[in-house]
Amino acid sequence: MEKDKYSKELEVAVRVVHLACALCIRVQEGLVSASGDHVKSKDDDSPVTVADWSVQATVSWLLSDIFGSQNVSIVAEEDTHAISKADSEGFLAAVVNTASVTQLGAPLEDIGYLDPVDGTLGFVRGDQYAVALALIEDGQVVLGVLGCPNYPMKREWLNYQHQYSQTMSALSLRSTDVWEKGCVLYARRGSGKAWVQPLICEDKMLEWPNYARLIQVSSIDDPALATLCEPVEKANSNHSFTAGLAHSVGLRKKPLHVYSMVKYAAIARGDAEIFMKFAKSGYKEKIWDHAAGVVIIEEAGGVVTDAGGCPLDFSRGVYLEGLDRGIIACSGVTLHEKIVGAVYASWDSSNL
């Protein structure tokens, strides 16, 4: 890949995600006292909030505006059918009132994959969530940006994040400390580099201070010292198989339970070493739940494949078709090979 290819696109994507995170923070601050119109259930009973739709509308508008007369292809999680129903008038009005836009002034190309609020349940509970934006060209993820508004700059704060957010909401405080706990991670395919910068609040957006620093995955390759990131949600992942697998490869530390693609951020930044997900029968992994996180981990020096050791295929539509059993993300090759080997050894005896 050319050295400077996609540099402008990446700059725009990072700014757009910063703006989207600022919007999410505004919504989350008022969510506790908001009316029922601010949270709805989708057809699969998963929650969707005003923030999901406001971010999706804002990002889509911005990228379309930046494209000008060029064709824009954006694949995003939320279906317009959800807000076209007769009982959605209040929800739609809240989305319109919440969404705000800013001119940014640079082009994007090809297909953008957007998860407006990844981990909506975490968002509603004042816990971890992410805004994810990726650019895919010819089936390959070439850019990835992850906005993590509640991801603290120090790993040890993660276990206290939920209680911290609840306390801040109760006190109705809005200080610089609240903003400083968020961050945005990003990477460009082939650069061999991944970056993180503190989340920039709206009133500082025009100044655009560049506090980005390089990140790398952890150097830990001993399973006994490694930390496993595990999904909080149990509906679509088999926790019992993951726990058995973790035991078989010698993982001894308590898992880090994290909502959303923040798990990818934790590995890329060196705060954890392993993420495994084995979906329950009938569940299909979506592109937008993984694309941005995958390229960030890989450019930070990590490895992401399916459970058979093959790269994830982002060329076959909105689902990760052909996925072999599950997804394994690791900080390095040594841990990755041990886990893939354990999957092959354990799979026949599992209930998946």
Known binding residues for Mg(2+): 77, 115, 118, 289
What is the spatial distance between Cα 66 and Cα 106, in angstroms, rounded to a whole number? 6
End-to-end CA distance of the chain: 39
Residue with tokens 């930390």: 227
Q: What is the dihedral of CA 266, 269, 273, 274, to 10 degrees?
A: 40
Please give the helix or strand (H or E) that residue 71 lies within, else none.
Answer: none
**By C-alpha distance, which of 319, 7, 330, 64 is closest to 186?**
7
| Catalytic residue list contains 120 | yes
**By C-alpha distance, which of 35, 45, 11, 66 is closest to 210?**
11
Give the tokens for residue 320: 């990760």
144 and 190 in contact (C-beta within 8 Å)? no
How does DSSP classify residue 118? E
DSSP state string for 223-282: GGG--EEEES--SSB-HHHHHHHHHHTT--SPPEEE-TTHHHHHHHTTS-SEEEE-BPTT
Binding residues: 77, 115, 118, 289
**By C-alpha distance, which of 166, 150, 148 is closest to 158?**
150
Q: Catalytic residue among 120, 227, 242, 305, which? A: 120
136 and 291 in contact (C-beta within 8 Å)? yes
| Catalytic residue list contains 306 | no
What is the spatial distance between Cα 163 and Cα 169, in angstroms, rounded to a whole number? 10
**By C-alpha distance, which of 351, 198, 184 is closest to 279?**
351
Q: Catalytic residue among 52, 127, 271, 306, which? A: 52
Residues with a known catalytic role? 52, 120
